[in-house]
A and B are shown apart, each in its own frame.
Chain A
């Protein structure tokens, strides 16, 4: 097991966490021991990566096969103009190292598919999904369920965002299993969903949703508070509305099997 003791430098770096009731030194050590996979190093991924790095997550896996482009920089704040044309995982890894050299970054410069997703997801404790398409969301959600990995998943478009946390392999207070992604969306949408490239996205919206997703990851690791399990947060930046909608597990839900 990895050494999670905190050096004098780390005690100082994380002092505001250690001061927090319910986090403290033990909570910080849990963060140091954690292995978190962030799928997508784009808009949502940017604040997720930066806040998890700053928080002292021990190992951060980054998945993205894309390169940084000029039109990314309006919202993907983990990247800089100097990194246009470079792999996003390389650009983000540099940023993580600059923020917190204690974090180990594992780069996966690839697109998740049925052939590689289980090996990658299986190597982490928690998955946070900041991808930009539904086929990958379903692939990640089904795999995380099958491998019993908690999943924090967010989506954005225009001025809006959604966020929820999924642990469908765990039982709730009533003894029943908790909802899965497919209790929200039973199947992939027909046709092609609108993308930020088609209809736009207010840059700071990904900052809001990505930061909230990072909060959910930190809560899951430290055990602080109540994660958004069985609850869907809908954010409407146009009128600054934050709605939490309860949802239930479909009784017909069965755990997916890995192919």
Chain B
């Protein structure tokens, strides 16, 4: 199934801004994070189709997954 993955801030470095990627049915957010070699503890926000999602969320065909790093400085 095809998933649109959008990355922001530091997650773009060495990766991409947005890409349509194929994953097997049953793929979770955690699987995509692992596939992209993103350190889970660096993730601040996870959106699936504009709504906050958890790492164990099972993605569906044509879902848009957005991953944001923690930006906690002020």
Q: Which residues of A contact B (CB under 8 A)?
A: 40, 42-45, 129-134, 137, 154-162, 182-186, 189-191, 193-196, 201, 206, 232, 234, 236, 241, 243, 245-248, 250
Contacts of A184 in B (CB 8 A): 45, 52
Let me know if A42 and B74 touch, CB within 8 A. yes
**A247 touches which of B10, B44, B47, B71 (Cβ 8 Å):** B47
Let me know if B71 and A185 touch, CB within 8 A. no
Q: Chain B, 37-74, contact with A by CB distance < 8 Å: what is the 0/1 string? A: 00001101101001110100000000000101111111
- Output the residue of B17, B44, B70, B74 with the most chain A CB within 10 A: B74
Let me know if A236 and B12 touch, CB within 8 A. yes
Let me know if B72 and A245 touch, CB within 8 A. no
Q: How large, as a class, is the contact surface on chain B?
A: 20 to 34
Q: How far is the CB of A157 from chain B (nearest CB, A)?
A: 5
Let me know if B74 and A156 touch, CB within 8 A. yes
Shortest 7 CB-CB contacts between residues of A and residues of B: A160-B9, A132-B74, A155-B71, A196-B73, A193-B72, A193-B70, A157-B73
Let me know if A44 and B74 touch, CB within 8 A. yes
Return the chain B residue nearest A136 by Cβ. B74
Chain B interface SS verdict (over half): mixed
Q: Which residues of B contact A (CB under 8 A)?
A: 6, 8-10, 12, 17, 41-42, 44-45, 47, 50-52, 54, 66, 68-74
Let me know if B70 and A157 touch, CB within 8 A. yes
Return the chain A residue nearest B12 by Cβ. A236
Let me know if A185 and B74 touch, CB within 8 A. no
28 A-B interface contacts by CB (under 8 A)? A129-B74, A130-B74, A133-B72, A134-B72, A154-B74, A155-B71, A156-B73, A157-B9, A157-B69, A157-B72, A157-B73, A160-B9, A160-B10, A160-B69, A160-B71, A161-B71, A162-B71, A183-B52, A186-B54, A189-B41, A189-B70, A191-B41, A193-B70, A193-B72, A236-B8, A245-B6, A248-B51, A250-B51
- Output the residue of B44, B51, B73 with the most chain A CB within 10 A: B73
Contacts of B66 in A (CB 8 A): 245
Q: How far is the CB of B12 from chain A (nearest CB, A)?
A: 7
Q: How far is the CB of B44 from chain A (nearest CB, A)?
A: 6
- Known interface pairs A159-B9, A193-B72, A248-B51; 20 further A-B residue pairs with C-beta atoms within 8 A, sorted by A's residue number: A43-B73, A45-B74, A134-B70, A134-B72, A154-B74, A160-B8, A162-B68, A162-B71, A182-B52, A184-B45, A185-B45, A189-B72, A191-B41, A193-B44, A201-B73, A234-B9, A234-B68, A247-B47, A247-B52, A250-B52
Contacts of A245 in B (CB 8 A): 6, 8, 47, 50, 66
